[in-house]
Amino acid sequence: MRNTERYPVTGSNALWQIYKTVPFWKVVKNFIVIQIARYTPFIPLKNWLYKTFLGVKIGDQTAFALMVMFDIMFPERISVGKNAIIGYNTTILAHEYLIDEYRLGDVVIGDQVMIGANSTLLPGITIGDGAIVSAGTLVHKSVPAGAFVGGNPMQVIYTKEERAKHEI
């Protein structure tokens, strides 16, 4: 199970009650900043926008490709380590709205992590240092340090120890 906090709702579904859980103007500001950053080809500018206006924790020399989509409601719950690469069109979520509840969870991405294009990271996961996430992966549980994972559902392809045996 992912490490999420669960908040039950009554009556209408949790997404219908969105502005009871997050302020409207915060969502508007975050949406504008994220959209500007998604199309900006200048990595230092992207990182500055994410840190300054969204509260995302980002390590030195981390690079976000074009079209990366941060959680609009709770981006401050995302942290990315040093020298990581987040691939094209990756989505990083720190919330999920369901019928009877909504869930929040931190997303922690370690140092020297590589995440392939078109991946989706769900709330409450940690990706360990040196891990590699294959393109198109749904990261629905935490990834051990140094592992190579991929698929939907995500599976461990190689552990850190197995990868070391195959490298020359």
Fold (CATH) for 5-166: UDP N-Acetylglucosamine Acyltransferase; domain 1 (2.160.10)
pLDDT at site 160: 83
Torsion of Cα atoms, 123 then 42 then 129 then 60, to 10°:
-120
User: For residue 168, what pLDDT band results from cuts at 50, 70 and 90?
Assistant: low
Cβ 56 vs Cβ 80: under 8 Å: yes
pLDDT at 1 over 70: no
Comparing CA positions, the residue from 86, 92, 5 lying closest to residue 54 is: 92
pLDDT at site 23: 97
pLDDT at site 164: 76
Map out the domains of the chain as residue ranges: 5-166
User: For residue 61, what pLDDT band results from cuts at 50, 70 and 90?
Assistant: very high
Taking only the tens place, the pLDDT of each residue in 109-157 is: 999 999 999 999 999 999 999 999 999 999 999 999 999 999 999 999 9
CA–CA dist 36, 68 (Å, integer): 11
CA–CA dist 136, 115 (Å, integer): 9
Mean pLDDT for the chain?
A: 96
Give the mean model confidence (pLDDT) for residues 91-110: 98
